[in-house]
Amino acid sequence: MPAPRIGIVSDDRLQQHLLSSALRDFAFEVSANMDPQRLLLGDGHIPEVDAWLVDVRHEDENSDIDWLEKLLDTEVPVLMGMGKAPQKHCPTFPRWEKRLYAKLRSVLHDAPVVSEDASVLHSLSNQVNNKVLLPPVLTQPASKEPFMVWVLGASLGGPEAVKEFLDALPEGLPLAFVYAQHIDPRFENTLGQSIGRHCDYQMRAFAPGYRLCSGDVLVAPIRQEFCFDGAGLTVDKGHQWPGPYGPSIDQVILNVDHYYGHRAGYILFSGMGNDGSEAIVSLADGHGPIWAQSSSSCASSSMPDSARETGRTSYTGDPYQLALQLVNFTKNYWMETHESAS
């Protein structure tokens, strides 16, 4: 299915650039990007698009607005009033970008799908021949309580990347994971079965009242938001995730951080859009670390790229490199923690 064609009309070049960049992050095709006074120059032809984004700030009472009247006379939807785009490094940019996607999706019949196509689950295979070795310091039996909990956030291209990452991890790490994947809700159970087929970790569907244990991979429910109560038990919040898609990786990060704090880590894998970026910029100092999959190894890199643009990520690598980094990080953190305790 071809990508929806969007036309941008703005009298601010920076706004033109930011709008265009945001649209491409969500796989829209930018068919026109111009100043309003240039829109109808020449033969008066209006480009064929599926929707218009209009942002005009410097018009005065004497300005010629024939161009706008002609746009509004067509059957193509015209979106106005999105507000000036924040700079990309601004903490509010991910929220603005997500709101733009939601508005376009509400007026278009066929908006780009940012979630993974479930058909990929049937073709997943063991992609790692050699597992990362478990460091000797971690070979003692892991306690039931996880040393750390890591959020794995992914969208388009995520199942392949997350499976390769988990398949590479050695058995016995004192860690648990919360896996938040954008995918059709009908395939929520299939997702866990497919990802966990070759790994040494226990895939778990969400159930209220459960406490994460070392070796768990909790698949975040796609429809309903969950969090952890004061005792670390999972709680169904009784409503859908906020935002235009589920699960909301932003909200998963915030909910995990609320209970686990400095004992949590976050990895953003392949995906379209910017889910996760809004949350990671709000994490307190010392709550992390935050890593992202390398652009060259992604099927769609806009989600990890957006995370990197926040300036909060501390490591980038392909899925195997991320697994190796996690093992080394856990070993070093474990040694520092237990040496200081003793």
Active-site entry in 182, 257, 297, 302: 182
Coil, helix or strand at residue 316: strand
Q: E strands within the chain?
A: 5-10, 29-34, 51-55, 78-80, 148-154, 175-181, 202-205, 216-219, 224-228, 234-240, 264-268, 290-293, 315-317
Higher pLDDT, 299 or 72: 299
Burial class (CB in 10 A: 0-12, 13-18, 19+), 104: buried
Domains by residue range for the chain, with CATH: 5-107 (3.40.50.10050), 118-341 (3.40.50.180)
pLDDT digits (tens, 9 = 90+) for 291-315: 999 999 999 999 999 999 999 999 9
58 annotated active-site: no
- Name the pLDDT band for 107 (thresholds 50, 70, 90): confident
Q: What is the pTM of this model?
A: 0.83
CB 304 within 8 A of CB 267: no
DSSP string, 179-198: EEE-B-GGGHHHHHHHHTTS
Active-site entry in 155, 214, 297, 300: 155
Residue 312 CA to residue 84 CA, distance in Å, equals: 24
pLDDT at 142: 65
Active-site entry in 275, 277, 300, 301: 275
* 49: alpha, beta or left? (left if phi > 0; alpha if psi -120 to 50): beta
Read off the amino acid at residue 128: V
Task: State the Rg of the chain over Cα.
Answer: 22
pLDDT digits (tens, 9 = 90+) for 222-278: 999 999 999 999 999 999 999 888 899 999 999 999 999 999 999 999 998 899 999
DSSP state of 246: S
DSSP state of 121: G
pLDDT exceeds cutoff 80 at 81: no
55 annotated active-site: no
pLDDT at 201: 94
Higher pLDDT, 161 or 36: 161
pLDDT digits (tens, 9 = 90+) for 115-150: 666 667 777 766 667 899 999 999 876 679 999 999
pLDDT at 134: 94
Coil, helix or strand at residue 309: helix
The structure tokens listed for 122 are 């049937």
250 annotated active-site: no
Residue 187 CA to residue 19 CA, distance in Å, equals: 33
DSSP string, 32-77: EEE-GGGTT-TT-PPPP-SEEEEE--S--TTS--HHHHHHHTSSS-
pLDDT digits (tens, 9 = 90+) for 170-201: 999 999 999 999 988 878 888 888 898 888 99
